[in-house]
Amino acid sequence: MFSEYLTIPAEELNLRIKNLQIKLEQKGIDYAIILQNTDIIYFTGILLQGIVVIPSNKEATFLVRKNIQLAKATSKLKNITLIKSIKDIADFVKSNSVIGFELDVVPYSNIEYYKNLLSPTSIIDISEDIKNIRSIKSNIEIDYIKRASSQLYTLFDNLKNYIQPGLKEVDIFIKAEEILQKNGHQGFMRMRGFNQEMFFGHIISGKESLQNTYLDAPTSGKGLYPSFPQGSSTRVLQNNDILSVDLVGCFNGYHSDETRPFSLGKIDKDFEKGFKCMLQIHNEVVNFIKPGILPEEAYFKALDTAKKLGVEDSFMGSQHKVKFIGHGIGLEVDEPPFLAAGFKKPFAESMVFAVEPKIFIQNKGVIGIENTFIVTKNGCEKLTLSPDEIIAV
């Protein structure tokens, strides 16, 4: 079984459920049916095959299809019941009710199945409510994110003694994975966006690092195959290269995101200037953010600073720019708050986010910086631990 430190206390699970129940009551929803893996983790403290049923005015129930012994030994939720079939949910949800689903992630066919099974009077999307509740992190969540940040600090500190000309990008990535998993990385990271996927992050260099493919991120890299064109390739590192290391730590489901450039010799003047500009944008955005500031205001602040520095044309992409400067992070890498135009829900205390300004140097490569922060009463606290500098190897 798992240690007590890895279990979410009953008081916290109950508070998470209560926060959702408040939203259900406000919207006239009788039940929330939680089907997505990450949200199941959030409301139960463990991922098992099952369904979480949250009535608006009664206790929640975790309907488990496999390994109820592990569920009861790990989850502090009061009501955990074994079911033989999904059809058994009909015993816990009254017909002709208003039901909320995570419509941003649950497939249409699944919704149709539950419509036929439960005959709801209406179905309402509760995905934004869940994401907004999850965006405010508890002390235990923050502690897990700090542990993920410590994994990254150990990684970057060790990589500077390993990276050298002659190694392939993929060699560095293999070493990075080894270091991360030896330091408690869970070996997997989660994204919520449709068709968004990534494995740990990207270690990329040279002209190939300018390539952007299907991932909604500033960088992608070439990768190894056309079936997964992102991440490290077989490119051999050369003297005076800049290697961009953008990786995600993960402890008990919670992520932390950090980018540092590594220099394999003399730093090209364009890279040096570019990094100084990205660091200035990074610092101005972070110093600007505090409770009450809108995420889109932070994004516009970054664009204005890039324009003043004369790097707007190569900021956050060249031909295909991404339309954000940062993102929330927690159980998923792509959570609110999104530092992008149109996001007007203000920053609040205990939100966690990453800021990642990057510049694309034509015919040379990409360089930038990324750190993970928590919003405090008066500003932001940095959770990632590495120095904000180009790391010489």
Residue 250's pLDDT is what? 98
The answer to whether the CB of 79 falls within 8 A of the CB of 6 is: no
Distances (CA, A) of 64 to 1, 49, 71, 364: 17, 6, 8, 52
| Domain 139-392 CATH class label | alpha beta
- The three-state secondary structure class of 369 is coil
> Which residue is associated with the tokens 């990205």?
278
Outline where 121-167 has alpha helix (H).
127-134, 139-159
Q: What is the pLDDT of residues 132-155, one digit of tens each?
A: 999 999 999 999 999 999 999 999
pLDDT at residue number 1:
59
Contact 262, 234 (CB under 8 A): no
Whole-model pTM?
A: 0.96
- CB 284, CB 305: distance < 8 Å: yes
CATH number for the region 4-134 comes to 3.40.350.10
- Which two tokens mark 219? 């960088």
Dist CA 66 CA 87 (whole Å) = 15
Residue 211 has a pLDDT of 86
Residues 6 or more apart whose Cβ sits within 8 Å of residue 178: none
Q: At what angle do helices 37-44 and 127-134 cross, to 10 degrees?
A: 50
Same CATH fold assignment for domains 4-134 and 139-392: no
Amino acid 19: pLDDT? 98
Q: Where are the domains of the chain?
A: 4-134, 139-392
Please report the pLDDT score of residue 318 as a whole number. 80
Question: Strands 254-263 and 335-339: what pairing?
Answer: unpaired
Which parts of the chain register pLDDT below 70? 1
* Tokens found for residue 101: 């689903």
CA triple 362-363-365, angle to 5 deg: 75
Q: Among 355, 202, 381, which Cα is nearest to 284's? A: 355
pLDDT, mean over the chain: 96
User: What tens digit of pLDDT does each residue of 237-264 get?
Assistant: 999 999 999 999 999 999 999 999 999 9
pLDDT of the residue at 3: 80
Q: State the pLDDT at residue 5.
A: 75
pLDDT the model gives residue 212: 84
